[in-house]
Amino acid sequence: MCVVTTRGESGPVGLTTTAVMSVSMDPPLIGVAVGRTSRSLPALLDASAFAVQVLRHDRAETAGVFASRSTDKFAGLDVDETERGTPVLTGDARYVVECEHWDTVEAGDHILLIGQVVGVTSGRRHEPRGLVYFERGFHQVGMPTEIP
């Protein structure tokens, strides 16, 4: 599960997505599929930068909030800002992938937002486990490993 964030005209915006993919290694590009009806889409299309947060295994509530139609999805969350002014959820993320807007591709009822990766950082509390959505529910993936 990932949360995509940017700064819109009226403040920070974001959405939950499961559709994030590697597009290119040279230059490093990723793609994020955003539904055409998403209220965050206009801000993402206008922004010069956005961030993809790969959520920790215990952040199902955050994924739910960003999937909702809530007007203040950032309320009560630990939000930092990148040098480009992009809001990031470092308290909820395993990793934050910061991107500059590269291109968009129309893809049926979605827009594929392509970003050039300009930085990858670990969240504040690095976890070896992530969060996925499968069969209508959230599940953790990965297991803590012990070093002999």
Residue 24 lies in a domain: yes
Find the domain containing 24 and state its range: 2-141
Does residue 148 belong to any structural domain of this protein? no
Counted domains in the chain: 1
> Mean pLDDT over residues 19-28, rounded?
94
Instruction: With CA atoms as reference, report the closest residue to 98 among 41, 26, 9, 32.
Output: 32
Whether 96 maps to a domain, the answer reads yes
Render pLDDT for 56-71 as a digit per residue (tens, 0 to 9): 888 889 999 999 988 8
Task: Report the b/e string of 41-65 with b at 16+ CB within 10 A.
Answer: bebbeebebbbbbbbbbebbebbeb
Does a structural domain hold residue 147?
no
Average pLDDT of the segment spanning 101-120: 96
CATH of the domain at 116: 2.30.110.10
Residue 39 lies in a domain: yes
> Which has the higher per-residue pLDDT, 145 or 119?
119
Mean pLDDT of all residues in 2-18: 93
